[in-house]
Structure 1
Amino acid sequence: MPLVNKKKVYDLNKIAKEIKLPGAFILGAGAGPFQTLGFNSEFVPVIQTESEHNPPVNNSYFAYINPADGGCLLEKYSKKHHDFGCALLANLFASKGQCGKVIEVKAKRRTGQLNFVTCMRQALGTHYGNKPVGMGGTFIVQKGKVKAHIMPTEFSSCPLNSDEEVNKWLHFYEMKAPLVCLPVFVSRDPGLDLRLEHTHFFSHHGEGGHYHCDTTPDTVEYFGYFSPAEFLYRIDQPKETHSFGRD
């Protein structure tokens, strides 16, 4: 922003090597690889990157707007896409994909204004203070509905210079459980101009996109597993920055 830079495209196999974790299992949220898809989309990465002994595996999804009726289309990556990339931006959690200790979180009936991820992020911030704590994982919206957005398939030809302008460009939807969400969040920014939380989701009933919050506080139920990160990597940090469009 304010205008798209189409030169910013990334290969997750290369990213895994850059962070010294070839063969990494990667999940999170980002922008789909328009350079191979031919259009803009919400990227839901579920990827095992390539290593010396194993080929990469891509079980990712991408959500995009149906040009016929403006609804949501959700597609799983297949061999026809030949792609392990994303574009523009991404918030990713990388691990060895092995068994280990995790944090289990169950919650239902939202009583405040903050969404599920923000509540966890702020709780970490309250406890750890100035020490940044990053986490990634997955949670399921088991019951209820959520507010979500999907970016248009065509990039904006007009500069987007505020949250209001970004929200006018985005398409918003209400989507129903069950939804599989892949959050990446950091309790505080240690001076790297981070997006503090980013969550995309997919489902098995054709809905997916960017998670904002639930719209059914009395009936919503969340269930998730999360793991703390050991390292934080900032790749290709922009020289010119902004504070909008990060909800």
Structure 2
Amino acid sequence: MSLSVDTQQLFVPSLSEVCDTLQDGLSRNFETVKVEVVDCPDLTQSPFCLSGRGLCGSPRIADVGGPPYLLPHVDRTKLYDIANLTKLINLPNAFVVGAGAGPFPFVGQNSELMANVVTGKNASNGSRICKIINNKCELHKLPQNETGCALMINLFASEGLGGKVLKVSARKRKGTDNFISCIRKTLDVKYEDKSVGLGGFFRVTSGTVKCHVMPGFCDSALETEESLNNWLHFIDMPAPMTFFSVLVSRDPGMDLRQEHSHGYGESYGGHYHYDVTPDEVEYEGYFNIAEILYRIDRPEHTHSFRRD
């Protein structure tokens, strides 16, 4: 199946400028904030234990499919493979992290995907899915050769090299925005009509966050926020958790999901919404600035709900 691919050069401010911008913006939403430009740690080592070593080298993001392929009716033909997607974004040997829907032909049902993959000659797969079984969340690691996904996925890809990245630490939330929304909105205010893309991961080291997990596909139409929320399973999940996250400060008219974060803990995982323990929560994230945006298999018919 041939997939449509549109590209957009993103605005790439310096890491130091973004560092200062986020330090100021996040300080309005969190009691304690520290944003630094640092050498990316070796992400294959503890406490990260990811598939790739770093977030540098030709950084780019991809927005594939979208919520219209799930809502109001699921389109079961929308199946993708991360190994093939990295070829479409001209980075076949890539370290990829991101958030999307799991490969339902393999999993046996709808699920949340936490993508953590190295594609190409040094292929490695640390991706996980979570699904609802008997009204409970189950977390599973995917086998090495299962790099599929479905319906929608947001990806940050790089050559997996070391280099300079942003380290963002924040604790004790005092505002209303979640960690990622605060970052995105801060960049949007700073850069106005320009689109800045950021990707990487963050760890929740203290506190509890609210996540949702999609159950099996719904037989009836999900046409409103109310029906969608009644279908989803919302679960409070305690730290420690690791979330893969992709964001774009402003949509340049490409029908984007502007922020998307999926993560996992010891035996649970899901789609990040916000923390529910503002006095206790602590975040620590590593991010890099993307140079190019790829919009792949954009839905012909769209809608505006469930884009958080």
TM range (shorter): over 0.9
Deviations 1:189-243 (A, max 9, x none): 000000110000012x202111000000011000111100000000000000011
Q: Is the 8 A contact 1:42 1:209 kept in 2?
A: yes
2:263 to 194, 201, 206: 201
Higher relative contact order (CA 8 A, sep 6+): 2
Instruction: Name the aligned partner's letter for residue 160 of structure 2.
Output: G
Equivalent of 2:198 in 97, 116, 135: 135
Q: Which residue of 1 aligns with 2:136?
A: 71
Letter in 2 for 1:66: I
Task: Give runs of ≥4 in structure 1 deviating > 3 Å.
Answer: none
Q: Secondary structure at the match of 2:255?
A: coil
Distance 2:84 2:244 in 1: 21
Tell me how far apart the structure 1 counterparts of residues 234 and 211 of structure 2 sit (CA, whole Å).
6
Note the alpha carbon deviations across 1:60-109, whole angstroms, 9 max, x for none.
00011122xx2211111125xx4211000001111110001101111011
User: How far apart, in 2, do the equivalents of 1:10 and 1:56 lie?
Assistant: 17
Alignment partner of 1:42 is 2:112: yes
SS in 1 for 2:284: strand
SS at structure 1 position matched to 2:87: helix
Q: Which of 90, 100, 105 is the equivalent residue of 1:30? A: 100
Establish whether residue 185 from structure 1 lines up as the match of residue 255 from structure 2: no
For residue 187 of structure 1, what is the amino acid of its counterpart? S
- What TM-score, normalized to structure 1? 0.94
Secondary structure of the residue aligned to 1:167 is: helix
In 2, are the aligned partners of 1:61 and 1:74 still within 8 Å (CA)?
yes
Q: What is the CA RMSD across the aligned residues, in angstroms? A: 0.9
TM-superposed deviation, 1:55: 4.8
User: What is the aligned partner in structure 1 of residue 158 from structure 2?
Assistant: 95
Partners of 2:157 and 2:143 in 1: CA distance: 22
2:128 partner letter = Y
Q: Structure 2 regions of 5+ residues with no counterpart?
A: 1-70
Instruction: Tell me, in whole angstroms, the C-alpha distance in 2 between the residues paired with 1:126 and 1:180.
Output: 27
TM superposition shift of 1:35: 1.5
The one-letter code sitting in structure 2 at the alignment partner of 1:74 is L
SS for the counterpart of 1:233 is: strand
2:127 to 60, 65, 85: 60
CA contact (8 A) 1:162 1:245 kept: no
Question: How far apart are the structure 2 equivalents of 1:94 and 1:212?
Answer: 23
Q: Distance in 2 between matches of 1:4 and 1:173?
A: 23
Please give the alpha-carbon distance, in whole angstroms, between the structure 2 residues aligned to 1:113 and 1:71.
Answer: 29
2:225 is matched with which residue?
163
Corresponding residue pairs, total: 238
Could you tell me how far apart the structure 1 residues matched to 2:181 and 2:272 are? Answer: 11
- 1:78 aligned counterpart, secondary structure: coil
Name the residue aligned to 2:84: 14
Report SS of the residue matched to 1:192: coil
Identity of aligned residues (%): 50
Report the Cα distance in structure 2 between the residues aligned to 1:36 and 1:189, rounded to whole angstroms.
33
1:149 matched to 2:212? The reply is yes
Unaligned runs of 5+ in 1: none
Q: Return the offset for 1:56.
A: 2.3
Match 1:123 to one of 178, 186, 189:
186
Deviation of 1:23 (Å): 1.1
State the AA in 2 paired with 1:65: I
Q: Which residue matches 2:300?
A: 239
CA–CA distance in structure 2, aligned partners of residues 160 and 71 of structure 1 = 22
